[in-house]
Structure 1
Amino acid sequence: MVWGATGCGTNGNDYNPPGANARVGPVLIRYAHIAEPPDGPWQSGDDAPLYLWLFNQGERPDRLLGAETEIARSVDVVDADGTARGPVELPTGKLVELEKGRTHLVLNDLRQRVRGGDFVWVTLRFERAGEIALQVQSQIPTYVDDDVTGVPGLTSPSPGG
């Protein structure tokens, strides 16, 4: 198993995209994050989408077989409409975007509350590249609700917050 983590570069010219970034074998993992909670924290029992981009730099195709995490009952690979599907093909030299409106992962039946900004461990399993555990952040809400905060333009992570 390979352990991955997120981090910031020390050079001001480095570009560090949002989300967890890692590598397992020849597979690059970019922008891994749990979708922004829609109107407050994800609650226990909710299903939360997990998005990421994968790029296989290897000479042979690979497949994302699945994922697991202790904070959810299960993790499924689903189509854009939420229908469970099988593994995700990772051809060589092609970007595969697992995101809203496309195939992506879903953390089913969360076992705990997950707020925007929280980090959770998720293990991804690949057919050839193996496994990697990475710390994935729940996206920090970006919406503005002037009525809740009372201050124009101040972001509120949840109603009443």
Structure 2
Amino acid sequence: MTPVRRLPALAGTSALALTLALAVTGCAAEAKPELKVSGAYMPQPVTDTMAGGFLTVTNSGDEADKLTSVSSDVGKEAEIHRTVGQKMERVKSLKVPANGELTLGRGGNHLMFLDLERKPAKGEKVSVTLRFEKSGAMKVSVPVESTNYVPDGTTGKSSGESSGK
């Protein structure tokens, strides 16, 4: 019979500690934003020159991100806005918190599409590209709704959904 060779208990413990340390370090290095867009819509514009856009960006990741710019096939210019009191103002970015969400809605943070090349009508879809500091670009198909459209409060069921890059 072949004798069984036993390693000292310390060697096994060191190997286990090293494996756990690598696993924890690997998980920490993988912490990143995980973004999904839902509830996107654009009310049919009342003017020929500008339109608003609304959506929710959900971040299920352990790291925050920032919405830094937006572009669209409908207008020459697109901006990120916030509303303070009764006044809209352009901002350079909006934070998407880790394990949280950024809501763009009427009367608050929103997208503005300026110098429209065409006036989108209810039933159409507008292509919008959102650019994030860490997650890069994300294309979203945004449905055009009636001018007075109000979402029913549910998210994730709009045809204006996208996830990933």
Place the TM-score, normalised by the shorter chain, in its bin. Answer: 0.5 to 0.7
SS at match of 2:90: coil
Supply the RMSD in Å over aligned alpha carbons. 1.8
Equivalent of residue 121 in structure 1, options 112, 127, 138: 127
- The sequence identity of aligned pairs, in percent, is 23
How many equivalent residue pairs?
A: 114
Q: Secondary structure at the match of 1:124?
A: strand
Q: 1:132 aligns with which of 135, 138, 142?
A: 138
Deviation of 1:127 after TM superposition, in Å, equals 0.9
Runs of 4+ in 1 over 6 A off after TM superposition: none
What residue is the counterpart of 1:156 in the other structure?
none
Unaligned stretches of 5+ in structure 2? 1-32, 150-165
Larger Cα-atom Rg: 2
Structure 1 stretch 29-38 or stretch 63-72: which is displaced more? 29-38
Q: Distance in 1 between matches of 2:148 and 2:53?
A: 17
CA deviation vs aligned residue, 1:17-57 (integer Å, no higher than 9, x gap):
xxxxxxxx61111111112444xxx52xx210000111111
In structure 2, the partner of 1:55 is 58
CA distance in structure 2 between the partners assigned to 1:104 and 1:142 by the alignment: 16
Higher helix share: 2
Gaps of 5+ in 1: 1-24, 144-161
Match among 93, 109, 124 for residue 99 of structure 2: 93
Distance 1:53 1:124 in 2: 12
Aligned equivalent of 1:102, options 101, 105, 108: 108
Match of 1:83 among 81, 85, 89: 89
CA distance in 1, matches of 2:111, 2:148: 22
Deviation, structure 1 residue 141? 4.8
The question of whether the paired residues in 1 share the 8 Å contact of 2:80 and 2:93 is answered with yes
1:89-145 deviations in Å (ceiling 9; x for gaps)? 0111122211111111101111112111111111110111111112211113568xx
What is the deviation of 1:82? 2.2
2:43 equivalent among 15, 19, 35: 35
Q: Give the conservation status (yes or no) of the 8 Å contact 1:33–1:137.
A: yes
